[in-house]
Amino acid sequence: MSFTKACCSLPPVQSDYTPQGEIINLGDLPVYVVGPKDATKAIFVFYDIYGFHVNTKQFCDILAKNCGWKVVLPDFFRGDYYNTSDLGDKEKLMKWWVNTASTEVITPDVLLVEKYLKDGGVKKAGFAGFCWGAKVAVQLTATLPFFLGAATIHASIVDIADAENAGAPILNLPSKDEPDMTEYMAVLAKKPFGDKCKMVRFEDMHHGFCGARGDYTNELNAKRASEAIQLTVNFFSDLFSDSSA
């Protein structure tokens, strides 16, 4: 298992972006939704440890515009995001992760959003996640077949076991701060869907460049984020086209 040092050291950036979507509530779970209301395809986004950050919503807005599908971003932590004052304390981060953000803890909320998508007419969907969200997105492909794949963007706590247990194609988009993922991709390549798994490394970007730690006002950052979004759209376009669902 490899822990990205930048994950617990880089704070979120400030942004004055105005999100284009809306917040709906599924019981006590707030969900940011953007894109066509009658879409039959959707991307389910998992944010990073800084939660409902405007940069993450901006990513969702651009993603929805580029693909023409519905994009949903649940607020799993319900406003109780990781405390920036604890940055650098790996022990606190791991304790928070286990108690608040583990796959087991969030699965009921994921199922709630899955039902919302299906009830709304969505026939095909995929996961996309940053940092913490990238890891759980891969893990959930092992148990939730409705989601046809996962795009992981600057993933944290990279673990070969997640690749071994993956149940659908994976797109990996690491930054310069993520560990070497050669072995991870080799494991995925041996899967029945191995030919659909891909990786593109962004060597000139830091951990978090698409999420809360990105700066969409920076020309290069915005360009690379747009490239990551288009790679995500292309990945799911291929998966959705191949699916008979």
Q: How far are the Cα atoms of 12, 13, 154, 222 from residue 218, in angstroms, in the given order?
A: 15, 12, 18, 6
Q: The tokens of 30 are what?
A: 């707030």
CA distance 2 to 61: 31
Distance of CA 158 to the CA centre of its chain: 14
Amino acid identity of residue 178, one-letter, is E
In the chain, where the domains are located: 5-242
CA distance 124 to 28: 25
229's CB contacts (< 8 A; 6+ apart) are 59, 62, 63, 66, 210
pLDDT at position 36 is: 97
Superfamily for the 5-242 domain: Alpha/Beta hydrolase fold, catalytic domain (3.40.50.1820)
Report pLDDT digits (tens) over 104-138.
Answer: 999 999 999 999 999 999 999 999 999 889 999 99
Residue in this structure with the two tokens 């039902």, named with its chain if needed: 115
Distance separating the N- and C-terminal Cα atoms of the chain: 35
pLDDT beneath 50, residues of the chain: 1-3, 5-13
Predicted model pTM: 0.90
Report pLDDT digits (tens) over 196-226.
Answer: 999 999 999 988 888 777 888 889 998 999 9
